[in-house]
Amino acid sequence: MQTLIKNGTVVTEEKILTADVLIEDEKIITVEKNLPATGVDEIIDAEGLYVLPGGIDVHTHLDLDVGATVSADDFYTGHVAAAFGGTTTHIDFATPAKGETLKSAYEEWLGKADGKAVIDYGFHMSVVEVNESILREMEQLSGWGITSIKVYMAYKNILQLTDEEIFRVMQVAARKNILTAVHAENGDVIDFNVKSLLRDGKTEPKYHALSRPPLLEAEATHRAIYIANAAGANVYIVHVTAEMSLAQIVESRKRGLKVLAETCPHYLMLDDSYLELPDFEGAKYICSPPLRKKSDNEALWKGLSEEDLQIVSTDHCPFNFKGQKDLGKDAFNKIPNGLPGLEERIPILFSEGVAKGKISLAQFVKLTATNPAKIFGLYPRKGVLKTGADADVYLLNPNAERTISVKTSHGNLDYNPYEGLKIKGKIEKVFRRGKLIVDGERFLGEKGSGIYLHRSSPIVN
């Protein structure tokens, strides 16, 4: 089966050109000007459209059990939402319970995706406790196609590791060429703050943010970078939210230290004023780290345009307002943490970033596809439009406009944090490994057709 996408504006990290993309079965055969249509089964006219490499979201939490409840999207509903948003690959976090082996968490997450996946997926492995057997098991990760781990400096007594534990994990990661992703917030101080606030009767959503100020993120970011470099490990700071944390990253690089980092759409678009919405609606905007100030939004956009941040991911972890977020009606620490983003990431970054002139089209492709592929061991199979790559492609009409609303979103959620946001640019078609899975408003993906990706070593230059 051959498909020819004709006359589109093809965008890669290096160049923008009017060209045709020839797809055969699951792969891109070639990207060239004026390709002949002889023998081609289907021709798609992409004149006036951008032809872009399928998005890769390296930070999602589908079907995640957080104790009191489970994140609202599973590997089907989350994938449908992702596909409508131009994302054809994601990396989720396999997270073992304490006492559980890494292998069993890996198998559990394969089971969550099995029979449901529509887009392609991989896993990071969360390391939530450190002992000899976990450290030994880490040596096997790359054999399962897992080349990145995640450690938490926050969530005391649940996920948090001590500095010594993080250092020991990073030493193994360095030896095995595994990238360590770090949730950088000072969990000890936050835990004390949460208890103090609740004791004083300060239970509303806005106190969640006050319990974990940007200073405690910046401090942990600094510590993560320095510990990683002391261990000789490659480190990736997830969900950078604040100017102060970004400054730690920039300053560390000036000193010759190695660090990579991401931010997420909600930290670019939303600020802490949302936490004060009446009728408990602030709970819709509870995530960790929390939303910051408008000045932080602006600093992060600058961080993208100056390429101090390498990736925009989503930390997609949705919880319904009714029945989930309201678990925390009487205490902010019981509100499940997380916002959606899988469907909104690419449209928002295009509209607010490219169309408003904050980032270039090439940077947009790097942030959403090429850098994620390189840093997380999927390049050049994913993240690029060139011969031999998977035919993960979407077509975007830069001039069409629409408005984001929960009524037209595809995830399994009863609200949309970007409700009413006017978006420039509309995704018209999405191909995943050569198969058309989104055509306008129609979803054509087959449940269970997404595949698990064995990732290679990170490219961190």
Torsion from C-alpha of 154, 155, 158, 163, nearest 10 degrees? 20
How far apart are CB 348 and Zn ion at their closest, in Å? 18
Measured CA angle at 230 (ends 257, 253), to 5 deg: 10
Structure tokens at 249: 């990253």
Distance CA 297, CA 394 (A): 28
How far apart are CB 183 and Zn ion at their closest, in Å? 7
Q: Among residues 306, 215, 310, 303, which one has the least CA distance to residue 259?
A: 310
Under DSSP, the state recorded for 65 is: B
| From 50-58, 294-302, 308-316, 351-359, span contacting Zn ion (CB under 5 A) | 308-316
How far apart are CB 92 and Zn ion at their closest, in Å? 10
Closer to Zn ion by CB, 165 or 262: give it: 262
Closer to Zn ion by CB, 308 or 315: give it: 315
Place of tokens 């089966």: 1
Structure tokens at 184: 């950088």
Closer to Zn ion by CB, 315 or 392: give it: 315
| From 82-90, 209-217, 315-323, 328-336, span contacting Zn ion (CB under 5 A) | 315-323
| From 73-81, 220-228, 310-318, 400-408, span contacting Zn ion (CB under 5 A) | 310-318
Closer to Zn ion by CB, 206 or 316: give it: 316
Helix, coil or strand: residue 114:
coil
Closer to Zn ion by CB, 181 or 348: give it: 181
Count of other CB atoms within 10 angstroms of residue 386: 14
Between the CA of residue 381 and those of 4, 124, 387, what are the distances in Å? 19, 18, 10
Q: Out of 137, 191, 315, 344, which residue is the one contacting Zn ion (CB under 5 A)?
A: 315
Give the type of residue at 61: H
How far apart are CB 429 and Zn ion at their closest, in Å? 30
Overall residue count recorded for the chain in this entry: 461
Which residues from 266-305 bind Zn ion, rule CB under 5 A? none
How far apart are CB 317 and Zn ion at their closest, in Å? 6
For residue 449, the cross-strand partners are: none
User: Any long-range contacts for 38-43 (C-beta under 8 Å, 24+ apart)?
Assistant: 39/2, 40/2, 40/3, 40/4, 41/1, 41/2, 41/3, 42/1, 42/2, 42/3, 42/4, 43/3, 43/4, 43/6
Q: Among residues 179, 252, 233, which one has the least CA distance to residue 457?
A: 179
How far apart are CB 90 and Zn ion at their closest, in Å? 12
Give the type of residue at 25: D
Count of other CB atoms within 10 angstroms of residue 203: 16
Closer to Zn ion by CB, 46 or 312: give it: 312
Closer to Zn ion by CB, 66 or 362: give it: 66
Closer to Zn ion by CB, 283 or 361: give it: 283
How far apart are CB 71 and Zn ion at their closest, in Å? 10
Count of other CB atoms within 10 angstroms of residue 86: 29
| From 3-11, 22-30, 280-288, 307-315, span contacting Zn ion (CB under 5 A) | 307-315
For residue 279, the cross-strand partners are: none
| From 142-150, 158-166, 199-207, 314-322, span contacting Zn ion (CB under 5 A) | 314-322
| From 9-17, 22-30, 44-52, 309-317, span contacting Zn ion (CB under 5 A) | 309-317
How far apart are CB 192 and Zn ion at their closest, in Å? 23
Give me the residue whose beta carbon is nearest to Zn ion: 315
Closer to Zn ion by CB, 315 or 344: give it: 315
Which residues from 44-83 bind Zn ion, rule CB under 5 A? none
Distance CA 105, CA 111 (A): 10
Residues binding Zn ion: number (CB under 5 A): 1
How far apart are CB 159 and Zn ion at their closest, in Å? 10
**Footprint of Zn ion (CB under 5 A):** 315
